[in-house]
Structure 1
Amino acid sequence: MIRFEQVTKRYADGTTAVDGLSFEVAEGELVTLVGPSGCGKTTTMKMVNRLIEPTEGRILLGGEDISAIDPVRLRRRIGYVIQQVGLFPHRTVLDNTAAVPHLLGAPRARARARAAELLDLVGLDPKKYGDRYPEQLSGGQRQRVGVARALAADPPVLLMDEPFGAVDPVVRERLQSEFLKLQSQVRKTVLLVTHDLEEAVRLGDRIAVYGQGTIEQFDTPARVLGAPATPYVAEFVGSDRGLKRLSVTPVDSAALEKAPVLRPGGTPPDAPWSVVLDADGRPEGWVSADEPGRTRPAPEPVPLGASLREALAALLQHDTGWLPVTDPADGGRFAGVLTPAGVHRALRASTKATEATEATEATEATEANEETAVSSR
């Protein structure tokens, strides 16, 4: 969908903002650009909608060279979300959201109907918030309106520049979660700029780690954390990258342990404790062998596929030493329990999988080089 071919941006004073960038963002993929201030990530993003023109190289959008597209027409095909949101203060939330469809020629009624749909999609009831003005919203609410407005014309590409940087950490995490849910529904091709590695890891399908004007590594979050390509990347992701891997490693059935269960009308098992299931096989509590008639509340279950980070956080909130895990594909039925040992086991398995992939790719590269050498003789 987006392709950079040896793209360089050099300014008149000789400063090179980005140098020889070549990478591709697949359709429906969310790629995060992460790095220190002044490394060129925002310049990279702004070249996609021609707010900044490259000095050398080509940028293709859907196979079309953007230099041949009228900038205004190009920008109307691309959603743009910035940290300051940039809402029109004199317009209502509904009219802010409807602005782009209206500019594109949609009748006012249709544009406002589309805006109402999108406000509802980002969690803002249009009946409650549609007639409010930006100053009457919280920072997080304004940010949601900014996302809704960017999606209003149904653009195939979404550019996001530090979109959650202006809100407090609690709201920021909630907005990230809501955006991931939204992205799972709309599947836009997204370039998201951030200086926060944890945000990049949590949101990105792939991450571009910037050095000074160049990309040091372009890979999945698990690979960036588990197999840094250069000493610079290793230093950037930090010595605690093993902990950061918790965010990108899912809870799977191999990490779980079996637990004794007590079903409705059943006999308590001969065990120190057991998980109490309801008639549908979902966990609703646990009992101790010392007090078999007293059902105690169990920790809130986590589903298979949740991140180990979420699971570990839940484990640390309770003193049971285990966490019930459910299977969404099986109607939310009980799948087993996760313990700290299971978290460690899953993390080690993820690390070994990354190392195995690295070894396979190295072997394939060696074989390819040998074949090339033979064919050139």
Structure 2
Amino acid sequence: MIRFEHVTKRYADGTAAVDDLSFEVARGELVALVGPSGCGKTTTVKMVNRLVEPTSGRILLDGRDVADADPVELRRGIGYVIQQVGLFPHRTVLENTATVPRLLGVGRARAHARAAELLDLVGLDPRTFGDRYPDQLSGGQRQRVGVARALAADPPVLLMDEPFGAVDPVVREHLQSEFLRLQAQVRKTVLLVTHDLEEAVRLGDRMAVYGHGTIEQLDAPATVLGAPAGPYVARFVGADRALRRLSVTPVEEAHLDRPPVVRLDDPLPRDPDGARAVVLDADGRPYGWLPAAAGTTGRSGSVREHARPMEARVPLGGSLREALSAMLRYDAGWVAVVDPADGGRYLGVLTPERLHGALRRSVGGLTPR
């Protein structure tokens, strides 16, 4: 979808912002560009929509050289989201979101209907927020409007330059989650510039680690963290890169323990060994756990009377980081793993030992370059 062919941007003083850059972004893929300040990330993005012109090389968008396109028309067909958002202060949220369709000649009613649909998609009820002005919104809400506006003309490509960098960490994490949900629905081809390694790991299908005007490694986040291409990349991703892999390593059935299971309305089992059991409800979803001493001599009644609720659970395919977070949040010795495609049916439990083993196998499965 986006292809860089030996692209260089050199300024009059001889400084090369990017130097002989060649890479491709597939249709529907999100590539995160990460690296130190001044390494050429933003220049790379701005050359796609011709806010910066390359000195040499070609950039192809869906097979067409962007240099052959009228810059204004080109930009109207590319979504662009920046840290400062850039909303028009004198226009309402609905009018801001409808800006590009209106410039493309779409009628007011149709453009506003499209804007309302997108505001709803990014989590802003158009009935509540449509008539507000930018200065009546929080920073996170303005960022959402910026994303909605960028999507309003249904562009195939979305360029994002530090889109969530101006908000606090809690809001940023929420915006990232919302964007992942949104991207799963719209599947745009995205170039995302960020200084935040965690953001690149979380959002990117692949991540490009920049040196000084060049890409030192372009790989899936798990590969960059587990098999850095060289000393520079290893230093950049940090000595704790194995821990960062928690975010990109999914929970799999092979990771799970399967302790004894009882049903919530079963009679209390007689277990001379006093083994702890997982308690399921009538639909096979995890309810909690039965203490090891519950079924010993002298106890009677139903499982329900002795069961202890437990909220620590994660979906199959969720990250090891989610699982560890749930264990810590609920001070739990294990986390139940459920099948989200089957109504939350219980599959097994992930223990700290199993989590550690899964992480070690994940890292060990990648050979350093």
Q: Kindly indicate whether residue 322 of structure 2 is the aligned counterpart of residue 319 of structure 1.
A: no
Distance 2:156 2:250 in 1: 29
The aligned counterpart of 1:155 is 155
1:82-97 mapped onto 2 (5 Å cutoff): 82-97=82-97
Q: Kindly indicate whether residue 290 of structure 2 is the aligned counterpart of residue 287 of structure 1.
A: yes
The aligned counterpart of 1:50 is 50
Distance 2:173 2:127 in 1: 26
Distance 2:208 2:79 in 1: 20
Matched residues, percent identical?
75
Distance 1:138 1:348 in 2: 42
The aligned counterpart of 1:349 is 361
Specify the SS of the correspondent of 2:277: strand
C-alpha contact (below 8 Å) 2:312/2:332 kept by paired residues: no
1:70-149 mapped onto 2 (5 Å cutoff): 70-149=70-149
Specify the SS of the correspondent of 2:216: strand
C-alpha contact (below 8 Å) 2:315/2:338 kept by paired residues: yes
Distance 1:131 1:319 in 2: 45
The aligned counterpart of 1:198 is 198
The aligned counterpart of 1:298 is 310
1:227-306 mapped onto 2 (5 Å cutoff): 227-269=227-269, 270=271, 271-291=274-294, 293-306=305-318
Q: Kindly indicate whether residue 31 of structure 2 is the aligned counterpart of residue 26 of structure 1.
A: no
- Calculate the TM-score normalised by the size of structure 2: 0.94
C-alpha contact (below 8 Å) 2:34/2:208 kept by paired residues: yes
Specify the SS of the correspondent of 1:51: coil
Specify the SS of the correspondent of 1:185: helix
Specify the SS of the correspondent of 1:354: coil
C-alpha contact (below 8 Å) 2:312/2:327 kept by paired residues: no
The aligned counterpart of 2:12 is 12
Specify the SS of the correspondent of 2:5: strand
The aligned counterpart of 1:368 is none
The letter for the 1-side match of 2:320 is L
- Calculate the TM-score normalised by the size of structure 1: 0.92
How far apart are 1:354 and its partner, in Å?
2.3
How far apart are 1:52 and its partner, in Å?
0.2
Aligned length: 357
Unaligned runs of 5+ in 2: 295-302
Distance 1:263 1:124 in 2: 42
Specify the SS of the correspondent of 1:111: helix
Distance 1:256 1:9 in 2: 51
Q: 1:309 aligns with which of 321, 325, 330?
A: 321
The aligned counterpart of 1:336 is 348
C-alpha contact (below 8 Å) 2:278/2:288 kept by paired residues: yes
How far apart are 1:230 and its partner, in Å?
1.1
1:168-187 mapped onto 2 (5 Å cutoff): 168-187=168-187
The letter for the 1-side match of 2:326 is A
Distance 1:227 1:280 in 2: 43
More helix by share: 1
1:54-73 mapped onto 2 (5 Å cutoff): 54-73=54-73
How far apart are 1:50 and its partner, in Å?
0.2
Distance 2:286 2:194 in 1: 39
Moved more, 82-91 or 318-327: 318-327
Distance 2:115 2:202 in 1: 28
How far apart are 1:171 and its partner, in Å?
0.4
How far apart are 1:320 and its partner, in Å?
2.9
C-alpha contact (below 8 Å) 2:312/2:334 kept by paired residues: no
Distance 1:103 1:234 in 2: 46
The letter for the 2-side match of 1:176 is Q
Distance 1:252 1:130 in 2: 43
How far apart are 1:263 and its partner, in Å?
1.4
The letter for the 2-side match of 1:197 is L
The letter for the 1-side match of 2:184 is S
Distance 1:17 1:2 in 2: 19
The letter for the 1-side match of 2:277 is S
Deviations 1:173-216 (A, max 9, x none): 01001100100000000000001111111100000000000000
The aligned counterpart of 1:222 is 222
